[in-house]
């Protein structure tokens, strides 16, 4: 089990800013349960994410990993337990929900860019209308993030004119324009052609290098190994095992984890 | 045995596309005489045109009595369309019983509609916000004051005397401008999580859609006064406006809902995840896409609304068609082709408006195509 998939980038990760806070909690999940109708999809989830952590959540499909991170910005409602994000507890109070969402960025498997808006408009919509940033300032910030994901020349185009990898980079930039403190990634590379996976992972790595708190649901084990400080394995709606990547891959404990790793790592 | 290995030694360069076969003969062959059955159909169609076009020409132009002709000319045997009749009654068709001395008032309203309304339809025209304020606030108020009068020294003209194209345009422009926003609100209400709002919207939509427009208009004019306190009267035109608008908005709501269902859940979620509230999610993300999907449906509703205005005769309004029908019985123009000519005229006016609406919507469909369908 020591043969882990190849590294994502052929360079050393700059860890200067990748520091996990010892004291500051970003996300606290306590005894959380969720049902879809009668189906118990998340069972007794307990998770504490410190500021600056890079967590990769892995697991077979249907294990509840996407549902878990979608609970963190309340795209899904939990029925039992507590979720506290940046010190704000998620309840049915919509103002709190919006407060949390402003500080938590999310990147989706299918990008979900707004097809009727240009790239620049996609990036400035929320800053202008949620944060009240003046249009010129929002556009300036948007261009800065487009530079960072290395597609400033596409600003005037529509999402339909971009490749999948470019669209996903725009989606990341769109989240960053809100200046979030936490980023959630829901299988960001699963819908991409193999050639484009790397360009998206590169952007995610550079985010990690800046110290962003990140939770990534992904099958990119190379990314987990190079970037994550913690890997969580889920199955049947529960956290089965979690560890530092090195130990997780080289010395998995639970039978289910061993089986999973043996199937995805050849 | 066989050698399946292959390595390309040089890349194929792009070639210009083969030249299309063009020219008259090629076009005829491709479009009209490609096969025996095509040829047969082409010949039948040509024969039909050869038969119908001269007849139409004869009736509409050749044997027709041009404007300015006399009724005697219209009474000769085998006469064509009696355009002289239309020309002499065009004022009634336009204004109904509106007092002749006051025609300048509706004329100003028509001019305002053209000068304020048309630039609004033209995307690159400047001053959009001012233009919209003028059209949606100043124009209706000014129109009501001008048309009904009774103030600023203007003679009072009751709505019973309004008629013809004036009434048709008032009802359809009002209906179009109000039924779309109302329909959008109903569609949003129908998808609301609040049970009371949802139930009310569903009940309204289903009730209205289950009833013919004539019944709605009839109820508006006969039943409404019964529920009102004794002595209050609701203006006939107002009843017709309300009836037509509510009726159309129920259909509009269902069209808009159809468009919203075509929007994937991911769009809602992305907007939510960015922290956009309900109205901004709907206004900036969902509705622009949903409405774009259903432009043909919305425009279909506008067109049927425009034509349905002719049903307001049921409450005693004289719209364009009813005005034509009234004059078709006029003795002073009694002639064999009088009523046919009247109906052709009415049909032509309706056609011009509806066809313009249709072409305009095609223009928006092309304009809004951002090529996101892959």
Which pLDDT tens digit goes with each residue over A241-266? Answer: 999 999 999 999 999 999 999 888 76
**Residue B231 pLDDT:** 67
- In this predicted complex, what is the ipTM? 0.90
C-alpha B190/C-alpha B168 separation (Å) is 31
**Residue B159 pLDDT:** 81
Task: Say yes or no: B368 contacts chain A, CB-CB below 8 A.
Answer: yes
Q: Which of A104, A112, A178 sits opposite B270 (nearest CB)?
A: A112
Mean pLDDT, all residues of chain B: 86
Element (H, E) at A146: helix A135-148
CB atoms < 10 A from the CB of B107, how many? 14
CB contact under 8 A, B266 and A126: no
Taking CB atoms and an 8 Å cutoff, what residues of chain B touch A98?
275, 277
Q: What proportion of chain B, given as a percentage, has pLDDT over 70?
A: 97
C-alpha A201/C-alpha A189 separation (Å) is 8
Q: How many CB pairs under 8 A join A and B?
A: 73
CB contact under 8 A, B273 and A106: yes
* Secondary structure of B289-327 in HEC code, one letter for each residue: HHHHHCHHHHHHHHHHHHHHHHHHHHHCCEEHHHHHHHH
The residue whose two tokens read 């910005």 is: A73
- pLDDT score of A188 more than 50: yes
Superfamily of the domain at B165-367: MetI-like (1.10.3720.10)
C-alpha B258/C-alpha B179 separation (Å) is 16
Taking CB atoms and an 8 Å cutoff, what residues of chain A touch B266?
108, 110, 112
Task: Say yes or no: B367 contacts chain A, CB-CB below 8 A.
Answer: no
For B66, the token pair is 């041009």
CB contact under 8 A, B270 and A114: yes
CB contact under 8 A, B372 and A73: no
- pLDDT score of B100 more than 60: yes
* Domain segments of chain B as ranges: 102-157, 165-367
CB contact under 8 A, B289 and A115: yes
Which pLDDT tens digit goes with each residue over B4-37? Answer: 888 888 888 888 877 766 778 888 888 888 889 9
Task: Say yes or no: B275 contacts chain A, CB-CB below 8 A.
Answer: yes
Which pLDDT tens digit goes with each residue over B299-337? Answer: 889 998 998 888 888 888 888 898 888 888 888 888 888
C-alpha A150/C-alpha A170 separation (Å) is 10
**Residue B128 pLDDT:** 80
Burial class (CB in 10 A: 0-12, 13-18, 19+), B193: exposed
- pLDDT score of A100 more than 60: yes
- pLDDT score of A44 more than 70: yes
**Residue B59 pLDDT:** 86
Q: Which of A75, A110, A161 sits opposite B371 (nearest CB)?
A: A161
Task: Say yes or no: B366 contacts chain A, CB-CB below 8 A.
Answer: no
CB contact under 8 A, B370 and A75: no
Taking CB atoms and an 8 Å cutoff, what residues of chain A touch B292?
116
C-alpha B152/C-alpha B220 separation (Å) is 32
Q: Which of A73, A116, A130 sits opposite B289 (nearest CB)?
A: A116
The residue whose two tokens read 């097809």 is: A115
Q: How confident is the model at residue B374 (pLDDT cuts 50, 70, 90)?
A: very low
For B361, the token pair is 């919507």
Q: Which of B274, B292, B371 sits opposite A126 (nearest CB)?
A: B274
């Amino acid at each position: 089990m020591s043969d882990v998939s190849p590294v994502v980038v052929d360079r050393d990760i700059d860890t200067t800013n990748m520091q996990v806070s010892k004291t500051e909690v970003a996300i606290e999940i306590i005894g959380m349960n969720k049902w879809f109708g009668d189906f118990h999809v998340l069972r007794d989830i307990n998770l504490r994410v410190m500021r600056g952590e890079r967590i990769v959540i892995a697991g077979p499909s249907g294990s509840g990993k996407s549902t878990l991170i979608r609970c963190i910005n309340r795209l899904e409602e939990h029925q039992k337990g507590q979720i506290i994000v940046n010190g704000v507890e998620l309840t049915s109070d919509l103002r709190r929900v919006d407060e949390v969402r402003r500080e938590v960025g999310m990147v989706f498997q299918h990008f979900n860019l707004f097809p009727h808006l240009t790239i620049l408009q996609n990036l400035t919509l929320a800053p202008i209308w949620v944060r009240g940033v003046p249009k010129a300032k929002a556009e300036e910030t948007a261009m800065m993030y487009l530079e960072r994901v290395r597609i400033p020349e596409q600003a005037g185009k529509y999402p339909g004119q971009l490749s999948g990898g470019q669209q996903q980079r725009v989606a990341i930039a769109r989240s960053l324009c809100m200046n979030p403190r936490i980023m959630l990634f829901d299988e960001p590379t699963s819908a991409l052609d193999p050639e484009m996976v790397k360009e998206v992972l590169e952007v995610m790595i550079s985010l990690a290098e800046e110290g962003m708190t990140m939770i990534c649901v992904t099958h990119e084990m190379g990314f987990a190994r190079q970037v994550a400080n913690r890997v969580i394995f889920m199955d049947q709606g529960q956290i089965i095992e979690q560890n530092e990547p090195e130990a997780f891959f080289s010395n998995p404990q639970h039978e289910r984890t061993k089986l999973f790793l043996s199937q995805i790592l050849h | 045995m066989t050698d399946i290995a292959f390595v390309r030694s040089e890349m194929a360069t792009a070639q210009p596309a083969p030249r299309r076969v063009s020219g008259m003969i090629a076009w005829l062959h491709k479009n009209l005489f490609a096969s025996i059955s095509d040829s047969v159909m082409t010949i039948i169609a040509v024969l039909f045109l050869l038969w119908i076009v001269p007849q139409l020409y004869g009736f509409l132009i050749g044997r027709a009595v041009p404007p300015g002709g006399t009724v005697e000319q219209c009474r000769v045997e085998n006469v064509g369309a009696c355009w002289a009749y239309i020309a002499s009654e065009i004022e009634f068709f336009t204004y109904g019983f509106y007092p002749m001395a006051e025609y300048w008032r509706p004329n100003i309203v028509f001019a305002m509609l053209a000068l304020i309304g048309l630039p609004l339809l033209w995307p690159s025209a400047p001053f959009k916000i001012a233009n919209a304020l003028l059209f949606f606030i100043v124009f209706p108020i000014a129109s009501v004051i001008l048309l009904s009068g009774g103030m600023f020294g203007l003679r009072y003209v009751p709505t019973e005397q309004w008629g013809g194209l004036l009434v048709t345009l008032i009802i359809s422009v009002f209906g179009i401008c109000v039924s779309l926003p109302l329909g959008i609100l109903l569609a949003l209400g129908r998808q609301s999580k609040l049970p009371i709002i949802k139930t009310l919207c569903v009940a309204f939509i289903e009730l209205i859609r289950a009833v013919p427009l004539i019944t709605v208009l009839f109820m508006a004019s006969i039943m409404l006064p019964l529920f009102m306190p004794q002595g209050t009267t609701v203006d006939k035109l107002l009843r017709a406006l309300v009836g037509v608008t509510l009726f159309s908005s129920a259909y509009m709501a269902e069209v808009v809902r159809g468009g919203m269902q075509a929007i994937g859940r991911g769009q809602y979620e992305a907007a939510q995840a960015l922290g956009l509230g309900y109205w901004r999610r709907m206004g900036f993300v969902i509705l622009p896409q949903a409405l774009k999907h259903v432009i043909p449906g919305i425009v279909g509703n506008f067109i049927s609304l425009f034509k349905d205005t002719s049903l307001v005769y049921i409450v005693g309004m004289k719209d364009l068609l009813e005005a034509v029908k009234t004059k078709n019985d006029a003795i002073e123009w009694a002639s064999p082709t009088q009523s046919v000519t009247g109906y052709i005229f009415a049909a032509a006016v309706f056609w011009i408006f509806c066809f313009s609406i249709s072409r305009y919507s095609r223009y928006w469909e092309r304009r809004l195509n951002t090529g996101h369908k892959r």
